[in-house]
Amino acid sequence: MQDRSALFAAHATDARVKFRDRQRPRAKNHSWGWFGAILLVVGLLGWTASGMANIANTKHNLSASGPGTHKATAESQICVFCHTPHNSNPAVPLWNHALSAAVYTPYGSNTLAAAAPGQPSGTSKLCLSCHDGTVALGGVQNLPFGHQAAGTISGLEAFLTGPASLGTDLRNDHPVSFTYDTTLAATNPELVSPAALTGKIKPDSSGQMQCSSCHDPHVEANPKFLHVGYTDGAGYGSPLCRTCHDKMYWNTVSNMSHREQTRQWNGAGDNPWHVPGHNLANDPNSTNKANGCESCHQPHNAATSGSRILKQDGEAKVCLVCHNGNVSYWNIDAALNKMYAHPTKNPAYDGRHNPKRMPDGKVREEPAELGTNRHAECEDCHNPHAVSPGVSPSVPNPTNNLAAPVNKGVWGVQPTWPAAWQPVTTYTVVDDVQYQHQLCLKCHSYYAFGSTPPADPYGMIAGGINTDQAKEFNPNNASYHPVVAQGKNPFMDGANNYATSLIGGMTPTSLMTCSECHSDSQPDLPGLKGPHGADVWPILWGPYDRTTGMLGTQNHLCFKCHDWMIYAGTTDYNGTALKTGFRATTGAGLRNMHARHVNLRDMPCLACHTAVPHGMPNRALLVYGRGTKKDPEPYNAHNQMPICDPSTVYTDCTDYGINSDITNVNAIASGTWKRTDCHNGSGTGSCSRKSTFP
């Protein structure tokens, strides 16, 4: 038998004529007759001698001389395994391989803009005749040399197995056999217009994307018969994917971490980027920049079904396979293992993240998915196609309440603020959050859970419920921490104004973010910030509990920004220059009543201030502990506090907290507090106290 490549070069110009004439003596010559059939296929497909040479050197050469694992026992022809000149299957081009009778489960996803794919068609159906693993590799419509009878070529009786076998469940494979047209591109703003697909990567003649849109079965110039290799001229990965997928932010955000990162795998455990048979080799030189999309996505046999063909089982695992110290400097996995954390790693929340393609083409979740289907995946706060280095401003010297670069491209909500201390029921979706609170409030507000807040996941809030943070941070309230707007209580008293009681660069006009309080004070790595996890409930920088403000609590949350010496650290509370807004107008000078209550009564902050210090309908986050206008739990948490000793003269130990029947806290100007604003007579009906009352 002559070498097929040489014969192609010699006979390419008259191949069709020779086959068409089919002289009888030659028809009886099986070798030349079959060679003519091959030449016809070559003419139909426009193959060249060099193309045949390429096929001969690939795994698709199933002949006895093929280089792959699967090969025939004796058959020396190459094209016969797929093509035949006569009696072909009803598929083009002159298909010879036995087609699969399988019924496939096609890919489906809420984020898919195209109509749900049906059963594979076109070249995808042909590829699957081997690659679904249900038909023998040598199963053909016509056995070689003019038999015109179906059978199996010797040596190829086995079915395809391993990574190359996709099976009949295609939910974990890139979708095929769907129409890619201008309507689809208009529906999904992250798809390139089909008119721009003028190269090898494009829809087939019927306008559908098929296996052949990405793979050339005859040429393996690139791994896996891909039309385009893993890296382009600039060294960026996945140019094939990016031919069709123009991911928002990917090419526009400066210093985009997942596009530019060249940090290498540290060699611990398995290479997090490697999937045998699908992507770059398992070597330590792989980087995000080189891998591109395939750092996170796997186009075939992905770990998840219908969930954006992810390489790991679940969104969080995709992130944590690198953010666990193996690749990324930021070991988020360690933070999520803290005692209190967003439930990203909790198996009970697996599969709840359910983004959907909205009518405007953007991907978001419905409020119901955030409420009854409550969860906290990495992608809820971070957009992997947009994230860039940088966290929100921190004490010292906070400057704003803007969203951090690590939250770039994440959607959130902006409330429409009602009157003070009212439920916030109207929200505007923001596709790229500008302020951090827009991100947090999409879950921690009425937007997500309506009028029925979910249970406290740790069971530590009195009453067992979470609260509506949009209601609490409403800038129409009498007081709030300055997360949404500047604070309203910048009391002034000559040189001793509110600013003197603040530290870390904070001023009465400072703004802050939620993560200024909800972050870990002892992260595993310097600079790591955010509400991933902490050993203090509820993911707080420092304790805020029924002891905060008492003697020896300098490391508690409040004193990250509020000066401990002014509020509690000085025993010179009579006439001291270290004054606060809570000062008495009688007695030995203008007393610093914060310091006095701490040093004489060892009273915590919660004796007068809310246990949920986001905002209150009263000034200075003050809460009524008793009286006809007593504030409800969990804001009024005085029942969690140690109160007086009933063995003393003060036997009525339920008499604690600010009494709304005595005090109108909003009517008292800073520095003008009197004993009778809090106490009846000489002390009965007083606030929470020690067993002695000087």
CA distances from 643 to 403, 606, 630, 651 (A): 41, 12, 17, 11
Q: Is the dihedral of CA 557, 383, 342, 451 positive or negative?
A: positive
* φ/ψ (deg, to 5) at 597: -65, -35
Q: What angle do CA 378, 381, 387 make, to 5 degrees?
A: 90
CB count within 10 Å of CB 645 equals 14
Using CA atoms, how far apart are residues 95 and 140, in angstroms rounded to an integer? 9
CB count within 10 Å of CB 258 equals 21
Using CA atoms, how far apart are residues 349 and 645, in angstroms rounded to an integer? 45
> Phi-psi category of 22—alpha, beta or left, where left has phi over 0 and alpha has psi -120 to 50?
left
For residue 123, give every residue at least 6 positions away whose Cβ sits within 8 Å of its Cβ, in sequence order, or none.
204, 210, 211, 212
CB count within 10 Å of CB 343 equals 17
In this structure, what token pair is assigned to residue 248? 């928002």
Radius of gyration of the chain (CA): 36
**Burial (CB count within 10 angstroms: exposed 0-12, middle 13-18, buried 19+), residue 46:** exposed
* β-pair partners for 363: 357
* Residue ranges, the chain, pLDDT below 70: 1-53, 146-147, 233, 277-282, 284, 396-397, 462-463, 490-499, 575-578, 585-589, 638-656, 680-694
The reported pLDDT for the residue numbered 255 is 86
SS3 state at 493: strand
Nearest CA to 311 out of 406, 174, 213, 215 is that of: 174
Please state whether the peptide bond connecting residue 538 to the residue before it is cis, i.e. omega within 30 degrees of 0. yes
Using CA atoms, how far apart are residues 120 and 162, in angstroms rounded to an integer? 21
* β-pair partners for 533: 341
Using CA atoms, how far apart are residues 257 and 383, in angstroms rounded to an integer? 11
The reported pLDDT for the residue numbered 398 is 72
> Is residue 514 a contact partner of residue 531, using CB atoms and an 8 Å limit?
yes
The reported pLDDT for the residue numbered 458 is 73
CB count within 10 Å of CB 278 equals 17
Q: In this structure, which long-range contacts are made by residues 351-356, counting pairs with CB atoms below 8 Å and at least 24 apart in sequence?
A: 351/314, 352/377, 353/315, 353/377, 353/379, 353/380, 354/110, 355/110, 355/111, 355/379, 356/110, 356/111
CB count within 10 Å of CB 687 equals 22
Name the pTM for this structure.
0.86
> Is residue 190 a contact partner of residue 358, using CB atoms and an 8 Å limit?
no
> Is residue 336 a contact partner of residue 342, using CB atoms and an 8 Å limit?
yes
* β-pair partners for 413: 429
Which alpha helices (DSSP H) does 592-656 contain, by range? Answer: 593-601
The reported pLDDT for the residue numbered 392 is 81
Please tell me what DSSP assigns to residue 159: B
SS3 state at 611: coil
Give the max Cα distance, the chain: 128
Four-CA torsion 629, 635, 641, 645, nearest 10 degrees = 0
> Is residue 22 a contact partner of residue 37, using CB atoms and an 8 Å limit?
no
**Burial (CB count within 10 angstroms: exposed 0-12, middle 13-18, buried 19+), residue 198:** exposed
Q: Buried b vs exposed e over 73-108: b needs ≥16 C-beta within 10 Å?
A: eebebbbbbbbbbeebbebeebbbbbbbebebebbe
Using CA atoms, how far apart are residues 154 and 71, in angstroms rounded to an integer? 9
In this structure, what token pair is assigned to residue 440? 């947090």
